[in-house]
Each structure stands twice: as structure tokens, then as C-alpha cells.
Structure 1
Amino acid sequence: MPATLRWMILCLFLTLAMLALAACSDDGEGVVKVVYSDSSFFTTGNDDPALVDSVRLVIFDQFWQDVKDDYAYISGKGAVWDAAREEWRPEVVRSLTYYQYQNLLLGAMSVLEDENLALIDSTGEVHPAYEAKRKVNWRIDAWQATAEQLNYEVQSGWGWGIADTVGYFFFNSFDPESFDETEFDVALESMRDLSAIMFDMRTAGEVVVSLTVPKLDAAGLQILSEPVISRFVEDEVTVLEQHSNDSPDVDPIIITPRGEWSFTKPVILLIGQDTINEGELFAAAMSQLPNVSLIGDSTAGLVGATQYYELYEELDYTIPTIGYTYVDGDPLRGEGLMPVHLIRWTPDSFIDDDYVLISAFLWIDQFLE
């Protein structure tokens, strides 16, 4: 038995002993979702400027109409958004200051229960109108202690290592400004003869796209992780579909093979509640390939290409304007992606080492037997 695997098994046994003393979770599935909304991000102070009466309703009506027209997931929520206008528009008239006004807009958006709907303040900080608290199956110090055993190579937003016959990639970003596909290809080449590859996507949560121009068009829009996915297909394949609210057309997301060879042996994606946006989109696309398995925990169920809107002076906001579905029409949003193998955990799972990651490697070892 390889030394690295023996080390992982020992760590797992020690962690299991601790787990025996702890309850798995409130719902027995290792996941607890606590949802809340808060419209008090902006604090009123002596420097809080008054908002000109004549523009309050104009701004609100433009904001409400933008969401009505462009929000990719307005279908099924239209009545809720109409009711929000009736409830919050009178409050707009009574709002005295700029900060109060921003809080009212956040309150209105919160009824749509979408974390990608947000206001952006004058410092550039993003304030979601709605937020779901999730239990995340990852902790940085425990992960670092385990990753050291893999001779982990750090890149910008990602990294890689090797455990015996299994390659390992960790991604928390597919930012095109920092991701270098040439560096990825070099890492993948070193794994060409390995038995399997694992992608650790437990903290992958970049917003898909953010633009300052209006009306982002779904046609031809590719996902940021496409350069990675393209190394795992042998033929051109449609993995997902995308749509915008203002068009009945559905545009396919087509992946074309890239490079001189493709990795077609088993690929395992380790996912969790912090796998959101582009990370979740990557997991959904990869899950359509026949050699890919998802393990870990369910993902967030939060996918949408988010667009930046300039509304009034320093009052900006974001709206998900592109939605995604599987090829059969089922939406990506909602419950999130479900793993074929659930790795149960508690906060004690990360005291010394990354129990979830170790368990994932052990599952792969059994899977390959």
C-alpha cells in the first residue's frame, strides 16, 4: 500500500473516532440551511445626504423595471415582484435620506431570494439583498495541512498536486485575468498516465460574469471554465443551455476538445455548499460527461451570469441576466447538484486534517478497485 494512502487511512481512523462522539447534523444529511434577509446594511449618519424628492420614484421605477425585464429567473416570481412594487414604492416616498433609500431597495430585492441580486456602495462593496447561511465542508487550515502531503503547487485562484496515482486540482476561481490555461495544461500533462483526477470545488464561487454594458446577450456566451472542461472531452458536446429573460431562444453551451489529447479516465468532483456560481456551473457541465462523478455535499443551487447596472450617481446594483438549464430543460437553480456519494462531516472533522478530502481520496481508491 502506498505511503500516502497509509497516511490518509490513519488520519481517517483518528477522525472517525472523533466523529463517533458528535452528531452528524440537524437534518441527518450533513447540511443545515438557515436563510435570512437583512435590509440594514447602510447606516444613517450625520453625513447621510438627502435624496432629491423628484428622483426617488423615477429611480425606483427604473430599478423595478430593470429587474422585471432582465432578471433571468423572473418566471415564477413575477407576481412576487409585482407585489414588492406595491409594498415598497410608498416607502420610497417616505424615505428621507440616501442610505434609507438604499435599504429600501435592498428590502424590495430580498423578496426574490437571490444572492446575486445586490447593491454596490460607493466603495465598491457588494451588499446582497438576500443571503443563505450554509455549512461549508471545508476549512482552510485543515485543508492546508492535508494539501501539503500532495506536494501542492499554488497558482492564482487554483493549484494542483498528486497523491499516488490520483491527480488533484483545487479551484476557487476561473478568473480569466489570472487563470493561465498553459499552466493548467502543464499540470494536466504530469497527470496523463494517472488512474484518476479529482477536482476540489468546495470553495469555487466566482460570479460568472460582470459587465457595465446593458443587455448581456446569451448567444455565444461561454462559461469561464470552458478551457478546463475542453481537456476532458474527445468530441464536441453540448453540456448545458443558457437563456435570457427577454428572449425565447435557448443557446447551447458547446464544449470543443482542446489540446493534443483528452483525459477520459475517471474524474471526481468534490463539491459542497460553497460551490456556487461559476464553480457550480463547472460542476454541472462536467457532470454531463460519462466518466465524471460528484461526491461530497450538495452545492448551493445558485447559478446565473450577473450583470452590473448603473442606476443613479453612486447607486449601482447587480442582476443575474443569464440563466442556465441542463439540455433536457431542467434548471440548475434550486436544490443544487447532489453527490453520488455523500461525505458526512461535523465541525470536528477539521480539527487537524481535512477529513472530507481524505475521505474523498479513500472513496476514489475503492472506486478504482
Structure 2
Amino acid sequence: MKLKICFIAIALVCFTNSIYSQNLAPQKNFDVFWNIFNNNYAFFELHKVNWQESYKKYRPLVTNSISNDSLFNVMSTMLKPLGDSHVNLIDAAHKKKFNAAGPSHFAAEFNTDSLKAAFWQTADSTLMKNGFARIKGYGSIFKGKHLFYFSESANFGYLRFSRCFAKIKDGELDEKDFEMEILDSIMAQCSNLKGMIIDVRANIGGDDKFSYEVAGRFTSKPVIGHYKRERIAGTNRYTKTQKWTITPKGKFAFTKPVIILTNDKTVSAAEVFTLAMKQLSQVSTIGTNTEGNLSDMYEQELPNGWTITLSNQKYYSPRMVCYEGIGVPVDVKVSNIKQSLLTMKDPVLDTAIYKLHRF
């Protein structure tokens, strides 16, 4: 009888401890979440977010009985003021994701899949109206899009890529398969042209190595593209500054005039590409500033299995200017608006073609 009572007592203690641990789980997850950002995020000051005050404001809302949905909402509310597209909160089990990206003119103007498709149709139509051949896709396909798109006229080439990686393998960016042989075959068609347009508007980014592989086709000598450093976790110090250099790639260097088209959805590795290319003397940019989220994404998992990502690095131009939050600036500002779809004319692309004719 004593043994039975002992078993019951032990079972009751275990059950009570289990309930107690479950009840504390939301608070534990909140504290881990807050500390990961507190120890690693690089841009609280830039975005004017007082993370300590956020803790004081929102921690009391995380009670023992708070639901997962409510906890997710509290965390999302805290992250939104960062306006950083590299900040994510992901509950994969329930297919929930919050992204803290700030406002975007381009995304607001072309806010449906059909409008985005019409935007690119307008760009392709503008090319043809200016004597370019019908555009063709090359390379691997990701989410219905080829890696590269290319067209040429008698004098100029047009190269578009909407991502900075070749494909996805096992859920990860493929850092090896750059499909540069395909790019080199495209570049060979440009050897006798007088200029090129490279379109990275709405490029979703990917891998900085890819960006530098492409940039290497446009220089005959090493050129410093950017610097970067990383916050040392739990401190306000940063690692030693790293130098990234564009080195010549491919069979020849295209050193004639190049115009890069960007907008505020040119993101991450595409911004790094733009920043690096702007260090080459023959390159100019048209459109609007890039998004302003250049850092790689630092990723950690919370105790409950949710994933968070954040920006823990600072990227700089060779002159040590950081464009986080403001984007890589353009030389000539021209915006795309929804009304331009009615005339099937792309004002950004038209401006680039006009400028090439004047070189």
C-alpha cells in the first residue's frame, strides 16, 4: 500500500512539474527570443527601437496561459518597427510567418501577381519597341522563373536576373552551381555591343558569392566592392572588417558602359551586387534606391521550435558608407507606377536606353 501511494505521489509530482513547465514555456520562449535579438541584432539604433523598453512593455503580456497565436502576435508586434526584411519569425509547424519588411513603393504599386506579371510584360514590350529581340530565359528555373533573361539590339544588351542563386537543394541555397557557363555564353553575345543594361529590379537576393561571380564579368582588374563586419554576440563590438574584392571572371571583361536598374525591392545579395558594380568606372544606376537590407541573415531556433532570423552584419562601401535602412542610391531617379501599364512603356528602361544612346 505504501508502495502504491509512493507511485501515485511520484506520478502527481511529475504531472505537476510537466504542467508547470508547459505553463512557463511561453515566458521562456519570449525571454530567449528577446535575448537573441538583444545579443545579436545590429540596427536597433538605426531603426530607433529601444529593445529594453520593448521588453518592459510586452513581457507582462506573456502570461503562463497565453496561447501560441497570441505569443506569435506579441513577438511580431515587437519586430514590426524594425522595418527589416531580414527579420523573420517562423512557425513552420503551423505554416505561419511574419516578415518585418518596411513599406515599399514598388510593392504597393504592383501588389498582385497579375500586376507584377504585367510589369515585366511592359518591360519586355519596351525592349521590343526599342529594337531589341524577344527576350529569352536561360538557366535553371525557380518558382517559374529562369535564372537569367537576355535580349539584344544592334548595339545594346539587356540582362535580367531576379535572384542571386542558381537553385534550391534540400531547402538551402545552392552556393556551388552558379551556372556561370550559361552567363559566359550570354556575355559572348555582348562582346561587340556598345553597352549593356542589367536589370535587378525586384531581385530577391540570395548569395553574395553569386553577385561577385556576375560582377567579375565586368572588370579586367581587381576592384574593392565592399567591406563588412559582424556584431560579436552579447557585446557592442564587431569583428575585424572583411574586404570583398571583385576579381576578373570569364573569358573577357565587358568594360563598355553598363546601366543597372534597381528599385526598393532590389534586396540583399542584389543590393550587394549593385554596390559592388557601382565601384566600376563604366557603371551607372537608374531607378530608385535598393531596399536597404544588405546583411546576411543570422538564424536561431526558439525552444518551442519557432525560427527567427535577423541582421547582425554591417556592410560598407569602399568609402565606409553603410546603406542599411536607406538603400544603395541611384544616379538617376525614375519610378515605375501602375499607370505606365496602360501605355505598355517602362519609364525606367526607356531612360536607360536613352542614356546608352548618348554615351
TM-score clears 0.5: yes
Q: Is the 8 A contact 2:211 2:269 kept in 1?
A: yes
Q: Is the 8 A contact 2:89 2:308 kept in 1?
A: yes
Shift of 1:77: 5.8
Give the match for residue 364 of structure 1.
356
The structure 1 residue matched to 2:136, chosen from 128, 144, 153, is 153
Give the match for residue 171 of structure 2.
none
Deviations 1:314-361 (A, max 9, x none): 411211233211122210213222322223554221224232223321
Aligned Cα root-mean-square deviation (Å): 2.5
Q: Return the TM-score normalized by structure 2.
A: 0.78
State the AA in 2 paired with 1:158. F
Give the match for residue 162 of structure 2.
172
**1:133 matched to 2:125:** no
Larger Rg: 2
Q: Is the 8 A contact 2:88 2:97 kept in 1?
A: yes
| Structural mapping, 1:1-369, within 5 Å | 52-74=22-44, 76=46, 80-93=50-63, 96-122=66-92, 126-135=97-106, 139-147=119-127, 149-155=132-138, 156-177=146-167, 179-206=178-205, 208=206, 222-246=208-232, 247-356=238-347, 357-366=349-358, 368=359
* Partner SS state of residue 227, structure 2: strand
Q: Between the two proteins, what is the percent identity of the paired residues?
A: 21
Shift of 1:125: 5.4
Q: Is the 8 A contact 2:260 2:286 kept in 1?
A: yes
State the AA in 2 paired with 1:133. S
* Partner SS state of residue 39, structure 2: helix
Q: Is the 8 A contact 1:273 1:299 kept in 2?
A: yes
Deviations 1:94-151 (A, max 9, x none): 6621111111111111232322211112255542134313236871332243456433
Deviations 1:245-280 (A, max 9, x none): 113311111222112321111111011122121211
Task: Note closer, same or farther for the CA distance 1:144–1:79 as it changes in structure 2 (3 Å cut).
Answer: closer
**Greater displacement, 240-249 / 192-201:** 240-249
- How far apart are the structure 1 equivalents of 2:228 and 2:346? 36
Question: Structure 1: which 5+ residue stretches go unaligned?
Answer: 1-50, 210-221
- How far apart are the structure 1 equivalents of 2:196 and 2:65? 55
Count of residues in Structure 1 that have an aligned counterpart in Structure 2: 305
* Partner SS state of residue 312, structure 2: strand
Task: Note closer, same or farther for the CA distance 1:135–1:76 as it changes in structure 2 (3 Å cut).
Answer: closer
Q: Is the 8 A contact 1:71 1:321 kept in 2?
A: yes
**Greater displacement, 157-166 / 88-97:** 88-97
- How far apart are the structure 2 equivalents of 1:190 and 1:53? 65
Shift of 1:63: 1.2
Task: Note closer, same or farther for the CA distance 1:89–1:130 as it changes in structure 2 (3 Å cut).
Answer: farther
- How far apart are the structure 2 equivalents of 1:245 and 1:112? 17
State the AA in 2 paired with 1:230. G
Which has the larger share of helix? 2
Shift of 1:92: 1.4
Q: Is the 8 A contact 1:157 1:179 kept in 2?
A: no
State the AA in 1 paired with 2:105. R
Q: Is the 8 A contact 2:227 2:243 kept in 1?
A: yes
- How far apart are the structure 1 equivalents of 2:126 and 2:285? 20
- How far apart are the structure 2 equivalents of 1:127 and 1:79? 18
- How far apart are the structure 2 equivalents of 1:223 and 1:344? 29
Q: Is the 8 A contact 2:217 2:250 kept in 1?
A: yes
Q: Is the 8 A contact 1:171 1:203 kept in 2?
A: no
- How far apart are the structure 1 equivalents of 2:56 and 2:84? 20
* Partner SS state of residue 320, structure 2: coil
State the AA in 1 paired with 2:244. I
State the AA in 2 paired with 1:187. I
- How far apart are the structure 1 equivalents of 2:55 and 2:65? 15
Question: Structure 2: which 5+ residue stretches go unaligned?
Answer: 1-20, 110-115, 139-145, 168-176, 233-237
State the AA in 1 paired with 2:224. T
Task: Note closer, same or farther for the CA distance 1:145–1:234 as it changes in structure 2 (3 Å cut).
Answer: same
Shift of 1:244: 0.8
* Partner SS state of residue 302, structure 2: strand
Q: Is the 8 A contact 2:49 2:82 kept in 1?
A: no
Shift of 1:76: 4.8
**Greater displacement, 225-234 / 127-136:** 127-136
